[in-house]
Structure 1
Amino acid sequence: MAKKKQIELTIEEKLQNALVSKEEQPYKIPNNWCWTYFKDIFYIENGYAFKKIDYKKEGIPLVRISNIENGIVNINECIYVNKLEKNEEKYVIEKGDLLIALSGATTGKNGVYYLDEIAYLNQRIGNIKIKNKEKVLNEYRNYYIALKNEDILNLAYGGAQPNISPKVIEFISIPLPPIKEQQRIVNRIESLFAKLDRAKELIENTLAQFEQNKMAILHKAFTGELTVKWRKENNINEKNFFNKVKL
């Protein structure tokens, strides 16, 4: 008897099978969105266990946990390694990739790699890849994983040296809007973030001016400028009133 031909599911059917049950949905979302699991739209590529003996002063940049800073990957002070001969593609980081720390006190911190040159992925870091880019935008992924940073750290185990397995992250639930709405969400986030950055800049400038004004007031206080009017109103003879003494 001939085997039944395997039926290939459409993307929509696969996504339908990946939905989070109503009982497990964290909160209500718009009707045209759906709850799905991390594992059904993303996968994590683990880094390579480079040894210190492999470190070089030049070559291909090696991204370690310390290179993930404030939502981006910074390789200004990275180390380098030679080109790998086997399974190189698994450990290559490309522009737009999202990396996440899988161990240490900063487990869960993540950052986007924005550089054109390739780099290699070190161990204890995961590269979060999108399974189907027709369904999920890079930027939507980036912002949602940034939101879950603290939750991922809370899921980690190991006490003083937290660790998290990609298998644990796989079952994080994710609200998934249609692709066009994802783009609108990303645009709105970036617009609001730009306003926050501008507000922060204005506040920092104001604080800097505030500190300068404080010092100017103190200078005037101890040079007699603040009490000029008082001395005139009270007929104070400044020549006889002020005396220099040693502390």
Structure 2
Amino acid sequence: MSDLSLPLGWVVARIGDIAIKGQQRKPDPDEVFTYVDIGSIDRSKKVIAEPQQLSGTDAPSRARKVINTGDILVSLTRPNLNAVALVDERFDNQIASTGFEVIKPVQVDSRYIYTLVRSKAFIDEISGVVQGALYPAAKSSDVQGFHFPLPPPAEQKVIADKLDTLLAQVENTKVRLQRIPQLLKRFRQSVLAAAVTGKLTEDKRRSKAISSSQSPVTINVESDEQPEGWNWQKLVDLAILESGHTPRKSVFDYWENGDVPWISLQDIRAAHGKIIENTKHMPTMKGIENSSARLLPTGTVCFSRDISVGFTTIMGKEMSTTQHFANWICGEKLNNKYLMYALMAAKDHLTISGQGTTVKTIYMPALKEFRLLTPPLKEQTEIVHRVEQLLAYADTIEQQVNNALARVEKLTQSVLAKAFRGELTEQWRKDNPELISGENSAAALLERIQTERAAAKPARKTRKKAG
């Protein structure tokens, strides 16, 4: 920031020029205090969100830095994540971790410095001097030595006020955009529920109403109400059930340079609701042939029956799977995509129906009892077509939302950059020349700060010479 062409009345300063050093102390054993560590900071909102209430006896060794209203906290650990916050009155005279650099401005608007440490220029410079591999960290001197454009006092307040308003508007926009993915998630689930209960194709046939609370895929539970032409059938009567297996990892020839796609739990979450073409791990054909695994045909529906219960995909080529999956090879009367959507629609129900407390598992005997509310094959095809259209529409909206969020993130930095170039207050300076010159200039402010800091320094003690 030191290379900027400065507006009239501005100067370049270091953070260390306008701040004083804070105090450190060890909490008393019987003291109860609020402790702010790095994890207490909401990095998105740049606020202290989840501080801890501790007693002095439970205080960690890093709980040493005294903070006051108006201080700015800057995390020295992983500064690229920009865990920063402005201390408000709730945390006055409390204690923060030594992992922070605590900036205590003197005669400078704290809000101005708070927005400064959120700027890309600050983040990039501090991140560029980090040390350490596991826990990259900047030093106190890196923060204190950062050069920045300092406006006159009156202009600082105007800038801070404008940024308060503009950044609040940006944050509100971001919050609204962030709600949309959750709405889209509910939309997708409602599409699936409508698909496998017959509501999505009501216009194609005459049928009775079906209860929206009915689970579309269930075990030994059938409803008296169902769409005309639809029937509850055992899934094993419509598809062949196959399990999976893991070739022995200790046998070199079973895995070295393998080329058989093999679906594991590491693949299934990314492939949920899609056709899977590639897998992270691939055994050799020798490994498959010398284990209980099988090479299953293209189009097989792969359903996770434990760990990630309910996640479902369709094999885009011949593949094998781990033992964590139940695999359905659909017959002529069952559309494999319809089965996938039915399993996805019932994901929550199936998770609950699994056995176990820590890890839910659906065992093979239970899988063999699965019953599926099945429409005629022609209607299955129509349902799949409509579901794909609606889900593609949702995916398009979600991509647009993600693009908009990326633009909003850039907008924040654009606004900050304009502020520190003086562009937000250009007209204000023209209207108020007396507030940016002479005693009101930033240069005069720096002199006053230096005088105040010099007066506050304790006198040095001198040793008496031995007589």
TM-score range, shorter chain: 0.7 to 0.9
**SS of aligned partner of 2:357:** coil
Cα pair distance change 1:126/1:231, threshold 3 Å: same
Equivalent residue in structure 2 for 1:44, among 216, 241, 263: 241
Hey, what's the Cα distance between the residues in 1 that align with 2:348 and 2:366? 14
Equivalent residue in structure 2 for 1:141, among 339, 342, 353: 339
Hey, what's the Cα distance between the residues in 1 that align with 2:235 and 2:363? 13
Hey, what's the Cα distance between the residues in 2 that align with 1:77 and 1:65? 10
Cα pair distance change 1:233/1:74, threshold 3 Å: same
Question: Does structure 2 conserve the Cα–Cα contact (< 8 Å) formed by 1:67 and 1:74?
Answer: no
Q: In the TM superposition, what whole-angstrom CA distance separates every residue of 1:27-77 from its partner, at most 9, and x where no partner exists?
A: 843222222232332342011352212441223333322222332446342
Whichever residue aligns with residue 432 of structure 2, its letter is N
**SS of aligned partner of 2:433:** coil
Q: Which residue of 2 aligns with 1:32?
A: 229
Cα pair distance change 1:99/1:224, threshold 3 Å: same
Hey, what's the Cα distance between the residues in 2 that align with 1:40 and 1:237? 85
Residues matched between the structures, number = 220
* Counterpart check, 1:111 vs 2:313: yes
TM-score (normalizing by structure 2): 0.43
Hey, what's the Cα distance between the residues in 1 that align with 2:394 and 2:223? 28
* Counterpart check, 1:215 vs 2:413: yes
Once the 2 structures are TM-superposed, how far is the Cα of residue 204 of structure 1 from its aligned partner?
Answer: 0.9
The Cα RMSD (Å) is: 2.9
TM-score (normalizing by structure 1): 0.76
- Map of 1:85-164 to 2, 5 A cutoff? 85=289, 91-104=294-307, 106-115=308-317, 118-130=318-330, 132-133=331-332, 135-164=333-362
Question: Does structure 2 conserve the Cα–Cα contact (< 8 Å) formed by 1:68 and 1:74?
Answer: no
Once the 2 structures are TM-superposed, how far is the Cα of residue 144 of structure 1 from its aligned partner?
Answer: 0.9
Equivalent residue in structure 2 for 1:56, among 255, 259, 279: 255
* Counterpart check, 1:168 vs 2:387: no
Whichever residue aligns with residue 58 of structure 1, its letter is N
Unaligned runs of 5+ in 1: 1-22
Hey, what's the Cα distance between the residues in 1 that align with 2:416 and 2:296? 54
Q: Rg larger in 1 or in 2? A: 2
Hey, what's the Cα distance between the residues in 2 that align with 1:125 and 1:76? 14
Q: In the TM superposition, what whole-angstrom CA distance separates every residue of 1:111-158 from its partner, at most 9, and x where no partner exists?
A: 11113xx3333222221122x31x211111111112122222212112
Hey, what's the Cα distance between the residues in 1 that align with 2:382 and 2:299? 19
* Counterpart check, 1:80 vs 2:277: no
Deviates more, 1:155-164 or 1:194-203: 155-164
Equivalent residue in structure 2 for 1:230, among 421, 428, 434: 428
Hey, what's the Cα distance between the residues in 2 that align with 1:68 and 1:238? 62
**SS of aligned partner of 1:152:** helix
Q: Which residue of 2 aligns with 1:192?
A: 390
Question: Does structure 1 conserve the Cα–Cα contact (< 8 Å) formed by 2:261 and 2:279?
Answer: no
Question: Does structure 1 conserve the Cα–Cα contact (< 8 Å) formed by 2:266 and 2:280?
Answer: no
Name the % identity. 23
